[in-house]
Structure 1
Amino acid sequence: MTISENFLSPTFGSGCYRRRVILIADKHVVTAALEDDYHHFVLQLHHDGSHVTGITSDAKRFPWSTCPSASPKLQQLIGAPLSHEVLLTQAGLDAHTQCTHQLDLAVAAITQAVRGGHRQYDAVVSDAQGERCTAVLSVDGLTTLEWTLDGSTIIAPAAQAGLNLRKINMAAMALHDIDAVQELGLLRRAVMIAGGRRFNFDRLEDMSIFAERMTGACFAFQPERIPLAKRAKGSIRDFTIRPEFLLQEFSSQPNKLSS
C-alpha cells in the first residue's frame, strides 16, 4: 500500500495552497501569526530591545495530535539576540526537534522585532499539473516573487532558472539581501507543503505510513512520538477561493494592519 494509490484527493488539480503570515511589532512584543491549509499558530515574542525575554505560542489548528506539545520547546529561544542572522542560524537550535512551523514563525518574529512595524506575507502555490506549478509571494499586497517550477526546480523567471529549492545556499544569498532571503525561505516552505494537497489525509488514523521516510524530520516525527500521534481529522481548510478567511481574527485590527 502506498499513500499515492490509496489516499489521493479527488479535488487536487482544481485549486491552490495558500499561506499567510502576519507580523506586528510593538515596543517590546511581536505578535506573529501563520495560517494555511493545515496549520494555524499565533505566538507572542517578548524582548528587551536586544534579546528575547519570553515567548508563548497558541496552536489553534494542526495536523497531528502531538503538534501542540512542541510549543514549550520555543522557550529555548529565550536569551537569543535580536538579529536578522537568526534566519540562518535559527538561534543555534536543532530545527528537527522543533515544530517546523512554530519555529519558522518565531524566527520571523525575531526579525520583525529588528525591523519594526508590521508585515504581511501571502504565498500562493497552484496545484501541480504533472510536476509543474506556479508559486507567488506578495509582501503587504505587492508581488515580490513569482516562479514557475518543475518539481523543486525553478524554470522561470530566467534570472532564477535552474535553482533547486532543495539545494539553495541561503547563507550566500543573505550576504546580499536579508529581506530577499526571508521571502525566498517563506515561498520555498510553501512550495514544499503545497504538495500535501494531493492527498486526503482525513483517511489516515496515524502517521505510520510516513514513518520510513519522515522519521526525525520534526518534533512530531521524532521516533518516540510517531506511535503516539493521531491524525487531527477535519483540521484541513481549503482557501482556494476564500483567502480573506486566512487569519480572519486579525481583520478586526485594521489600525495594526494598515500602513
Structure 2
Amino acid sequence: MNGRAGAMPEANLPGFRRRFLITPAQFAVTAALEDDIHRMVVTLHHDGESVTRVEAEMARHPWDLCPGAVAKVEADFAGRPLAPSARDIDKKANCTHLFDLAELALRHAGDAAPTPYEMLVSDPADGRVTAVLRRNGQERLRWHLQDDQMLEPHPAKGLPLIGLRPWIASLSDEARHEARMLQWASLAAHGRQMPWEPDTPFRALPGSCFASQLGRHENCQRIGERIDFSKPGARLPLAD
C-alpha cells in the first residue's frame, strides 16, 4: 500500500475496469459491482447484530443460468452475524460475484460513509500486466505481472496469479482483503482475451461457480453485453 492519490498513469491504457461501491444506511448496507461483463447488487438488511434479509439483483451477467444464484446468496447470507468473513459458505456453489458483494457488505455494514473500490488491470503487452486497486480515490495496491506470474510486490515474486493464496493468507486483515479483491479482478480480466460471439464454444471452468456446477454446466449458454470501459469516451463503471 502506498497511499498515492490522483490519476493513475495507466488510466488511458486498454484493459479491464472494475468498480465496487458499498453504501451503508441505518439497518441496511448495499454493495454494487460493475465491470466489463457484470453488473450486480446485493443489499443486506440487518438489526445491528445479524442479517435479517438479503436482496440481490443482476443487471448484466455472462451466463443464462446466473440469475438462479440470486436465491442461493439470499438464503446463504440471511441470518448471518455482521462479521467480515463468510468462509464457511461454499463460494463456488454461489455466484462468486454475488458472494463477494455480500462479504463486502458484511465488512462495511458498520461504516458511516460509502466506500468505493476501483480496479484497473491493463491488457497484456508482451505478457506484461499492471494491476492497480484504489479505495476512496487512493492507491492501495500496485502489482506487476509477466505471463501471469508476479514480478512485484517482491514478497510475491515468482508466484502464479492463480496461486497467491499462501502469500495472501500471510498478510494482515485489511491487506489480505484488498489483495483478494485485486486477484479476483486480475483473474476476471482474462475474460477480455476470450471470444465473445454467442456461437463460439466456450464454458466456464466446471465447478467454478453457480452456473458451472454439475447439472448446469452442460446446459448454460453465454449471453449478456460486454462493455469496454477503457475505450475513449466510455462512462465509468456504476457511473449511471
Q: Sort the TM-score into its range (normalised by shorter chain).
A: 0.7 to 0.9
Q: What residue ranges of structure 1 are gaps of 5+ in the alignment?
A: 1-13, 250-259
Distance 1:154 1:243 in 2: 30
Which TM-score applies when normalising by structure 1? Answer: 0.80
Distance 1:242 1:119 in 2: 25
**Alignment: residue pair count:** 224
Distance 2:199 2:97 in 1: 22
**Following superposition, which runs of at least 4 residues in structure 1 exceed 6 angstroms of deviation?**
none
Q: 2:203 aligns with which of 197, 205, 210?
A: 210
- Compared with structure 1, are the counterparts of its residues 84 and 238 closer, same or farther at alpha carbon in structure 2 (3 Å cutoff)? same
- Compared with structure 1, are the counterparts of its residues 243 and 141 closer, same or farther at alpha carbon in structure 2 (3 Å cutoff)? farther
Q: 2:226 aligns with which of 219, 236, 245?
A: 236
Could you tell me the percent identity over the aligned residues?
Answer: 33
Shift of 1:243: 6.2
Mapped contact 2:51–2:81 kept (Cα < 8 A): yes
Distance 1:116 1:77 in 2: 22
Distance 2:93 2:84 in 1: 22
Shift of 1:242: 4.8
Q: How does 1:162-181 map to 2 (within 5 A)?
A: 162-167=158-163, 168-169=165-166, 170-173=168-171, 176=172, 178-181=173-176
Shift of 1:227: 3.3
Distance 2:113 2:227 in 1: 29
Instruction: Give 1:48's aligned amino acid.
Output: D
Q: 1:97 aligns with which of 90, 93, 96?
A: 93
Q: What residue ranges of structure 2 are gaps of 5+ in the alignment?
A: 1-12
Where does residue 114 of structure 2 map in the other structure? 118
- Compared with structure 1, are the counterparts of its residues 243 and 159 closer, same or farther at alpha carbon in structure 2 (3 Å cutoff)? farther
Q: How does 1:65-76 map to 2 (within 5 A)?
A: 65-74=64-73, 75-76=75-76
Q: 2:105 aligns with which of 90, 105, 109?
A: 109
